[in-house]
Amino acid sequence: MRLVDRHGRRVGHSSFTAPDPARLVELHRAMLIGRRFNQQAGTLARQGRLAVYPSSTGQEAAQVGGVLALSDQDWLFPTYRDSVALVAHGVDPVRTLTLFRGDWHCGYDPHRYRCAPQCTPLATNASHAVGLTYAARRKGRDVAALAMMGDGATSEGDAHEAYNFAAVWNTPVVFLVQNNHWAISVPLHRQTAAPTLAHKAVGYGMKGYHVDGNDAAAVYAVVSHALAEARAGGGPAIVEAVTYRVDPHTNADAPQRYRDPAEVEHWKERDPLIRSERLIRDEGLLGDAEETERALAAFGAEADAIADTVRERLAGAEELDPRSLFTDVYATVPPLLEQERAVLADELREV
Amino acid sequence: MAAAPGVSMGEALNRALHDAIEQDPDVLVYGEDVGPLGGVFRITDGLIGEFGPERVFDSPLAEAGIVGTAIGMAMYGLRPVVEMQFDAFAYPAFEQVVSHLAKMRNRTRGAVALPVVLRVPYGGGIGGVEHHSDSSEAYYTHTPGLRVVTPGTPADAYSMLREAVECDDPVVFLEPKRRYWSRQEVDLPVRTEPMATPVVRRPGTDATLVTYGPMVETALEAAETAAAEGRSLEVVDVRQLAPLDDGVVTASVRRTGRAVVVHEASVFGGYGAELAARIGERCFHYLEAPVLRVGGLDVPYPPPKLEHHHLPDANRVLAAVDRLQWESEWTDDGEGRVRP
Ligand SMILES: Cc1ncc(C[n+]2csc(CCOP(=O)(O)OP(=O)(O)O)c2C)c(N)n1
Ligand SMILES: [Mg+2]
């Protein structure tokens, strides 16, 4: 499924229509912010200011297109790869990086942002999305969820269990699978014998959508449609967004060991931002040439400003209080941990 | 650039896998990213190139499937060596490990052996984000039927991994990942003491530090510092945590009369509780002080910027040694009287 090709030209589709011009512009703007954010975080990782950063450069359309399709009350269940999705979802960009900076495991309040902590054990948060939407329905609330995972994660048993629960309980969950072709060094063809990952939906009695994941308009349209259907009781769905991880798995990876740089170049030509910008220019979605230039420059400046803020706010060393290690293990601090806190305080006094 | 002297633990493990594959056509190595990438820690570096994808290969990303298929292979005569990428990513395989890997021999009254090696890089100290630093040994040691081993030196890493592959029991081979880069002068191949036997890493007379895996180096450092301060600490490296052969441990503690058990894992309900209980049972009349345990805090593994507060270091070990009731030591006053 594709609505805009890599040259920015619209492609007709029998069941899906492209989002309206304002949405198309919004998708582009959010992708620009995402791209700059990825670059900034990558730089911070190289400088050692982040412990690690899994970049999603090249995957912005899949993340932004999926997230912008959510309604205000909906929840996001992201992975480590999905920082850009979090930013598009409205999470404070600096707090998005708390995990990777190594300050804490999750830097934001999930309830405030309707966004679960970024999940590293693969596919394990997908069933959480099923349970949360089940609970919301029980409480009479119209809440859907977008559960994100990678191509590799679909091999995990937890993925299969979540798909099945969602289908059997008919909970409004859309599983957005970003097929970026690699699970660290393992290519997709070693991961699955299915014709596509979207095909997996069939066995669970779900709908599966196979989407050009570098076409933000298509991802947005399909996820919106799948969410609306799921909300209306039509069942959950798998949306496979076909995209590509342009950067290494993380800054610690060595992709030259396992993939051909020509493959990366092939995908760079299909960059999601190139096509959305072309569409905007060719169709004059931001006005005439001069107005377009001005508006795009403003988006660029906004993205830069966000990246600058991230850099500045991460520049100083935040004082982390080691006593905080003991506070949120249980609802109240048990005696054993009170004792350990006192011992640690003694240790710290001695050094 | 001249190579650093000696062999690193990572290199020793790589060589052990290499030699095991070369020696026995039934040995094969698989898991996540162990092929062209050589594993995220490069422990399988070069193996697929040398032995081909029939012997070394990447599997689908599913730990339960990795261990489950290894069990099936072992039932039919292969000797799979499978890698879990990190400690916490072995948990999806827990069912296979506990319900099948550990029990098959017993369930079948010895008819089916499972010579599987489950390699697990474990423990912290590398600045990893959550789920990359667990000390998961007690989950395994609490499961009868598994051999749980962990090397503390490069020579042991080589020798114990070779022995694990040759062993007819399933072996959970815990690799102290923060020590992958620790080096030792040793000529490979080497065979050290059988893995089931604890060894004295450093002799001493005043107290025994009982430890294993990543803390062997830490304990040796503590013993070095203590020596400079006039206190002689013996360091025992347990090596095979389960089943435990406690002879060397009890002999040492009976000699020194004092013991501190040291591990990186959280103290509560940790493997150190087993060691301390056993020492208490076997050495009660020889002990000058209660057996103390040193370990990590009883909190979820902290984020990178706080992990140093969790990880035991030589200072924490020495602080425990200081608490071994030295003031109650009775000495001969030279006139035939023994005084505190
Ligand atoms: C249960 C589990 N096993 C292994 C890992 C280690 N690991 C982290 S990312 C990754 C590859 C995941 O690939 P994919 O699902 O395609 O997502 P991508 O990283 O490409 O976004 C692996 C093996 C993990 N995080 N969780
Ligand atoms: Mg992937």
Q: Does residue B94 have its Cβ closer than 6 Å to ligand 1?
A: no
Cα gap A320→B68, rounded to integer Å: 42
Cα(A132) to ligand 2 centroid in Å equals 25
Q: In this structure, are A252 and A329 located in the same domain?
A: no
Q: Does residue A245 have its Cβ closer than 6 Å to ligand 1?
A: yes
Average pLDDT, chain B: 96
In a domain, B314, yes or no: yes
Per-residue model confidence (pLDDT) at position B327: 82
Tell how strand B79-83 and strand B117-122 pair up: parallel
Q: Does residue A244 have its Cβ closer than 6 Å to ligand 1?
A: no
pLDDT in tens, B98-108: 999 999 999 99
Q: What percent of chain B has pLDDT over 90?
A: 94
Cα gap A153→A200, rounded to integer Å: 13
Confidence of residue B328 (pLDDT cuts 50, 70, 90): low
Cα(A187) to ligand 2 centroid in Å equals 8
Question: Domain containing A334: what range?
Answer: 322-351
Atom of ligand 1 nearest to the CA of B32: 23
CB atoms within 10 A of CB A80: 21
Cα(A43) to ligand 2 centroid in Å equals 22
pLDDT in tens, A125-146: 999 999 999 999 999 999 999 9
Whether the predicted pLDDT of B336 surpasses 80: no
In a domain, A187, yes or no: yes
pLDDT in tens, B139-157: 999 999 999 999 999 999 9
In a domain, B47, yes or no: yes
Q: In this structure, are A218 and A245 located in the same domain?
A: yes
Whether the predicted pLDDT of B340 surpasses 50: no
In a domain, B257, yes or no: yes
Q: What average pLDDT does the segment B50-78 reach?
A: 98
Q: In this structure, are B33 and B169 located in the same domain?
A: yes
- The domain that holds B318 is classified in CATH as 3.40.50.920
Per-residue pLDDT of chain A (351 residues; tens, 9 = 90+): 999 999 999 999 989 999 999 999 999 999 999 999 999 999 999 999 999 999 999 999 999 999 999 999 999 999 999 999 999 999 999 999 999 999 999 999 999 999 999 999 999 999 999 999 999 999 999 999 999 999 999 999 999 999 999 999 999 999 999 999 999 999 999 999 999 999 999 999 999 999 999 999 999 999 999 999 999 999 999 999 999 999 999 999 999 999 999 999 999 999 999 999 999 999 999 999 999 999 999 999 999 999 999 999 998 877 899 999 999 999 999 999 999 999 999 999 886
Whether the predicted pLDDT of B337 surpasses 60: no
Cα gap A53→A50, rounded to integer Å: 7
Cα gap B250→B252, rounded to integer Å: 5
> What's the 3-state SS for chain A?
CCCECCCCCECCCCCCCCCCHHHHHHHHHHHHHHHHHHHHHHHHHHCCCCCCCCCCCCCHHHHHHHHHCCCCCCEEECECCCHHHHHHHCCCHHHHCHHHHCCCCCCCCHHHHCECCCECCCCCCHHHHHHHHHHHHHCCCCCCEEEEEECHHHHCHHHHHHHHHHHHHCCCEEEEEEECCEECCEEHHHCCCCCCCCCHHHHCCCEEEEEECCCHHHHHHHHHHHHHHHHHHHCCEEEEEECCCCCCCCCCCCHHHCCCHHHHHHHHCCCHHHHHHHHHHHHCCCCCHHHHHHHHHHHHHHHHHHHHHHHHHHHCCCCCCHHHHHCCCCCCCCHHHHHHHHHHHHHHHHC
The residues placing their C-beta within 5 Å of ligand 2, an ion, are: A 150-151, 180, 183
Please list every residue in chain B whose beta carbon sits closer than 8 Å to the beta carbon of residue A344.
Answer: 297, 309
Contact check, Cβ <8 Å, A186/B310: no
Per-residue model confidence (pLDDT) at position B339: 47
Which residue lies with its CA nearest to atom 17 of ligand 1? Answer: A150
Q: In this structure, are A290 and A338 located in the same domain?
A: no
Annotated active-site residue in B18, B100, B131, B132:
B132
How many contacts does A have with B, using Cβ atoms within 8 A? 109
Q: In this structure, are A221 and A249 located in the same domain?
A: yes
Per-residue model confidence (pLDDT) at position B4: 74
Per-residue model confidence (pLDDT) at position B250: 98
In a domain, A56, yes or no: yes
Which residue lies with its CA nearest to atom 19 of ligand 1? Answer: A183
- The domain that holds B56 is classified in CATH as 3.40.50.970
pLDDT in tens, B234-257: 999 999 999 999 999 999 999 999
Please tell me if residue A190 touches chain B, with a CB cutoff of 8 Å: yes
Q: What average pLDDT does the segment B42-59 reach?
A: 98
In a domain, B263, yes or no: yes
pLDDT in tens, B160-216: 999 999 999 999 999 999 999 999 999 999 999 999 999 999 999 999 999 999 999
Question: Domain containing B176: what range?
Answer: 7-184
Task: Using CA coordinates, name the residue in chain B closest to A49.
Answer: B305
Cα gap A275→A260, rounded to integer Å: 24
In a domain, A66, yes or no: yes
Per-residue model confidence (pLDDT) at position A317: 73
Q: Does residue A120 have its Cβ closer than 6 Å to ligand 1?
A: yes
Per-residue model confidence (pLDDT) at position A318: 75
Specify the number of domains making up chain A. 2
> Given A120, A325, A336, which is nearest B306 (Cβ)?
A325
Q: In this structure, are A327 and A272 located in the same domain?
A: no
> Given B35, B63, B91, which is nearest A185 (Cβ)?
B35
Question: Is B132 considered catalytic here?
Answer: yes
Distance from CA of A24 to the nearest CA of B (A): 36
